[in-house]
Amino acid sequence: MRIAIVHGANLRMLGRREPEVYGSDTLEDINRRLHALAEELGVEIEVFQSNSEGAILDYLEEAVPRIDGVLINPGAFTHTSVALRDALAGIDRPFVEVHLSNPAARESFRRRSYLAPVAAGVVAGFRAESYLLALRGLLAHLSRD
Ligand code: DQA
């Protein structure tokens, strides 16, 4: 079992980016925790981050033959990208949408997700913990298929 972890726009700045909203963990901290949980659960993960929408689309297309599912925090692409929704809907692999904050409790433009309607599930609002919950959720989803 191999899961792709995708971090989208501006997530490399975690730790110094609006810590009151996103927490003080850096992306490296989150990836470290994900690797530790993956090892505990006996699954492989690979991690990809880009601020470029096109690079994420290219990555998904290239990674799909070797992965079983995707855990993705698209950042602001959540609220803007039909192309990302189409890519995720087209790869025939379940994915979980993850957010550190709870977009539903923030500005109105964050309330629309183009991805959520085609996701296996959404985990939001638990800061770094969201990723760990999402990995467990995705694995539970995959094991019942
Ligand atoms: C985010 C929420 C998005 O609205 C925002 O644009 C981000 C981060 C989150 O993890 O809470 O960049 O995806």
Q: Residue 39: how many CA atoms within 13 Å on its side-chain side? A: 6
- Residue 22 annotated to the active site: yes
What is the pLDDT, as a whole number, of residue 21?
A: 81
pTM of the model: 0.96
The per-residue pLDDT for range 19-50, each reduced to its tens digit, is 888 888 999 999 999 999 999 999 999 999 99
By C-alpha distance, which of 63, 125, 74, 129 is closest to 97? Answer: 74
What is the pLDDT, as a whole number, of residue 5?
A: 98
State percent of the chain over pLDDT 90. Answer: 91
Q: Which of 100, 102, 106 to mutate to test the pocket of ligand 1 (most atoms within 8 A of CB)?
A: 100
Q: What's the mean pLDDT when you consider all of the chain?
A: 96
Task: Say how far apart CA 73 and CA 45 lie, in whole Å.
Answer: 15
The helix (run of H) or strand (run of E) holding residue 85 is helix 82-90
| Ligand 1 atom 2: residue of nearest CA | 75
User: Is the CB of 85 inside a 6 Å radius of any atom of ligand 1?
Assistant: no
CB 6 within 8 A of CB 41: no
User: Is the CB of 49 inside a 6 Å radius of any atom of ligand 1?
Assistant: no
